[in-house]
Amino acid sequence: MTDVPDAFRAPRRIGPFEVPAVGLGCMNVSHAYGVAPAPEDAERLLRAALDEGVVHFDTAALYGFGANEELVGRALGAHRDRIVLASKCGMTGVDGRRVIDGRPETIRRTADEALTRLKTDAIDVYYLHRLDPAVPVEDSVGAMAELVDAGKVRTLGLSEVSAATLRRAHAVHPIAALQNEYSLWSRNPERGTLDAAAELGVALVAFSPLARGFLTGDAPDMATLPEKDIRRNMPRFDAANYPGNLRLRARLEEIAAGAGCTLAQLALAWVLSRGGHVVAIPGTRSVEHLRENMAVLDLVLPDEVLRAAGDVLNAATVHGARYNEATLPEIDTERCGIAG
């Protein structure tokens, strides 16, 4: 296990920015997880996050096809100097469909649209949301570097790419953050990007650190999940795999109870223990869960507890792939043969 302080209260770095080890992924208040909450409720959650000490807020042009950026702009625009604001380009909604497009002209246009929606003059961390297989990463990052030169973006990031792609991009312009899925059941970063990020001074920003709600006190009930919830098309939640994963979850609940913490806190602590350059951005629609997540910053768990959790749920024990067969080829880490 990577050597880290006994607690997670010390700030971590994303490029020039110091942030708490836990931020907020804003996607699920607008996108992918069934029916979105009312805009006023979503805004209330974002402002509550600010009050609870969240500094790092992560959104994207894709989320709600622009609606999430607008939401973040409305809720937090007046507090811009208190936050580190991250968004993404390269994957957007076009005519109601999700489209991967890393062409320089698209990146420039998406950035201008994001600035308007976010009500800001500059985005602190701007990610390439997905690698476009039709566009060399050097071309996409080159266009993003122009945004830095123009003062529209402060630092650059990549999302869901391999270590090789990270190195190619970093050679064009310094990369401040690499955002990959990382949790007890999604271990892709351990196949190269976790170490490469540390070597290059890049923050590893872990999205879905709570396994898309699976590692919380409210595991998804597949019988009542809304029709358009993204998890309905994910193999780990299907009828063939979900029961086995629930059995693993029950064992993790026992470990958490023995350690005096919640399952979500155990899962977050495990992710943060993987290195001082790791930052987690769990998403939530609940202020109660938000507070539970932020409380992990003061949590101290013995190494043997974290090790036991990692032994129970990992790439070898999880049932099912991360994404379905149609989606896997879109993701650079998966195309490079890095599964789990």
**Stretch 209-234: mean pLDDT:** 93
Structure tokens at 302: 């013995």
For the chain, which domains are there? 12-217+264-299 (3.20.20.100)
Q: How many CB atoms lie within 10 A of CB 19?
A: 23
Q: Could you give the CA distance from residue 218 to residue 331 in angstroms, rounded to a whole number?
A: 28
CA 292 to chain centre: 18
* pTM metric for this prediction: 0.94
Residue 241, pLDDT score: 97
Average pLDDT, integer, range 263-277: 98
Band of residue 4 on the pLDDT scale cut at 50, 70, 90: very low
Lowest mean pLDDT of 128-137, 224-233, 320-329, name the range: 320-329
Q: Are 186 and 270 in contact (CB under 8 A)?
A: no
* H or E element, residue 75: helix 67-76
pLDDT single digits (tens) 280-336: 999 999 999 999 999 999 999 999 999 999 999 999 999 999 988 888 778 887 655
Residues of the chain with pLDDT > 90: what percent?
A: 86
With 60 as the cut, is the pLDDT of residue 339 above it? no
pLDDT digits (tens, 9 = 90+) for 165-187: 999 999 999 999 999 999 999 99
Position 124 pLDDT exceeds 80: yes
Mean pLDDT for the stretch of residues 226-253: 95
The model's pLDDT over 59-74, given as tens digits with 9 standing for 90+, comes to: 999 999 999 999 999 9
What is the rounded distance in angstroms from the CA atom of residue 26 to the CA atom of residue 65? 13
Does position 2 have pLDDT exceeding 70, yes or no?
A: no
Report the catalytic residues.
Answer: 63
CB 299 within 8 A of CB 265: yes
Cα gap 166→203, rounded to integer Å: 12
